[in-house]
Structure 1
Amino acid sequence: MNEQVRDGWFVRAAARVGDLGSPFYEEEHQRDVWNEASAVGFQLLVWLLPVAAVVSVWVGGAAAVPYALVVLLVPGVASWVVLAYAQARGVNPLTAQGVRALRWRAVVMVGLLVAFCAGVLRVQGSSGFTGGAAWGAVLGGVLGVVGVALAQRRARRQRA
């Protein structure tokens, strides 16, 4: 079966967006360094954008909430695409050797989510749609961390 058919539309679209067919990727060392640099840049964005969202709500007030929410969600969407691409290429991030997803990163991200929601509650109040959404996000964040912890535990048991 040829690679185009096996990979499916998602991997083909990601390869086009990432320009993975470029001659640039033919030299192995160059490709590895570029992939590492891209990972560093991606991680920087994953951390800076939520921090910017939190600061925007606390400094900009109620008017900043819709824009800050978009800034908060963008790294989540990008992370989802990264994970989906890895899984489509046969790498499961939850069972990959050496991955420890639930460490300080998860705690910091939940802290940023709580700070964001606290800022929204401060400027919008706890009633109405926005207040309910903020409380829902806090609960969702906590449940998400618990879900990741349970998935990690299950993956460890399956490997053992």
Structure 2
Amino acid sequence: MTAFLKAARVVADLDDDFYQDERQREVWNEASAVGFQSFQWTALVAGAVLPWIAGRGGAMVAIGILAAWFVLAMVTIAYARARDVDVYATMKTLRPRSIFAVTLYLAGVAGIYIELADPFRYDGATWAGMVVGALVGGGAAATVLMWVRRRDRRREAEEAARDAADV
């Protein structure tokens, strides 16, 4: 067991007698999922709204909220991966809720940026650099996304071939 999994067991108190009862454990897992999703949506809405309604101070708080949201989401995904579960293997990424979550996140980032960076004072060269950076970054993100999808298709094909060979 890795240090990460050992730490997760301690943090979540997974060795408690509470988890011995199968129904209790399953209900608690569902309740934890509801709690995590509630936190996620609350954090995204707060992170998206605060910079726009509370100005510079709200933008600073939004940075902390969105950073905590990101770290907790990554810990959740990392724990699943450490237990050999790939959340992206069966999940559809372009669902309405995913698009809405990304939209909220980007609204928060845009609000933070506008409040803290004051882009209205930028000169033309700075704007040109931002456009080029966005194009290069978008191209890199698209390339990585295509690579990940290709890798997933290859894994599925290999798994299907193994299943066919086993029959």
Q: TM-score, normalised by structure 1?
A: 0.76
- Equivalent residue, structure 2, for 1:91: 85
- Equivalent residue, structure 2, for 1:41: 35
Q: Quick one: structure 1 residues 78 and 145, their matched pair in 2 at CA, closer, same or farther if it must change by over 3 Å?
A: farther
Percent of aligned pairs with the same amino acid: 36
Runs of 4+ more than 3 Å apart? 139-150
Once the two structures are TM-superposed, the CA of residue 68 in structure 1 deviates from its matched residue by 0.9
Q: Structure 2: how far apart are the matches of 1:113 and 1:100?
A: 19
- Equivalent residue, structure 2, for 1:23: 17
Across the aligned residues of Structure 1 and Structure 2, the Cα RMSD in angstroms comes to: 3.0
- Equivalent residue, structure 1, for 2:69: 75
Q: Does 1:32 align with 2:26?
A: yes
Q: Quick one: structure 1 residues 15 and 141, their matched pair in 2 at CA, closer, same or farther if it must change by over 3 Å?
A: farther
Q: Structure 2: how far apart are the matches of 1:143 and 1:110?
A: 18
Once the two structures are TM-superposed, the CA of residue 110 in structure 1 deviates from its matched residue by 2.1
The amino acid that maps onto 2:72 is: A
Structure exhibiting the larger radius of gyration computed from Cα positions: 2
Counterpart of 2:155 (choices 147, 153, 158) is 158
| Alignment of structure 1 residues 55-70 onto 2, 5 Å | 55-70=49-64
**Matched residues, number:** 146
Contact 1:56 1:64 in 2 (8 A): yes
Q: Structure 2: how far apart are the matches of 1:61 and 1:154?
A: 43
Q: Quick one: structure 1 residues 83 and 99, their matched pair in 2 at CA, closer, same or farther if it must change by over 3 Å?
A: same
Q: Structure 2: how far apart are the matches of 1:116 and 1:141?
A: 19
The amino acid that maps onto 1:75 is: W
- Please give the secondary structure, in 2, of the residue aligned with 1:102: coil
Q: Structure 2: how far apart are the matches of 1:114 and 1:90?
A: 30
The amino acid that maps onto 1:156 is: R
Contact 1:102 1:149 in 2 (8 A): no
Once the two structures are TM-superposed, the CA of residue 33 in structure 1 deviates from its matched residue by 0.8
Q: Deviations over 1:60-96 (max 9, x none)?
A: 101222211110111111111111111111212232x
Task: Structure 1 unaligned segments of length 5 or more: list them.
Answer: 1-6
Q: Quick one: structure 1 residues 55 and 109, their matched pair in 2 at CA, closer, same or farther if it must change by over 3 Å?
A: same
Task: Structure 2 unaligned segments of length 5 or more: list them.
Answer: 158-167
Q: Structure 2: how far apart are the matches of 1:121 and 1:106?
A: 22
The amino acid that maps onto 1:14 is: A
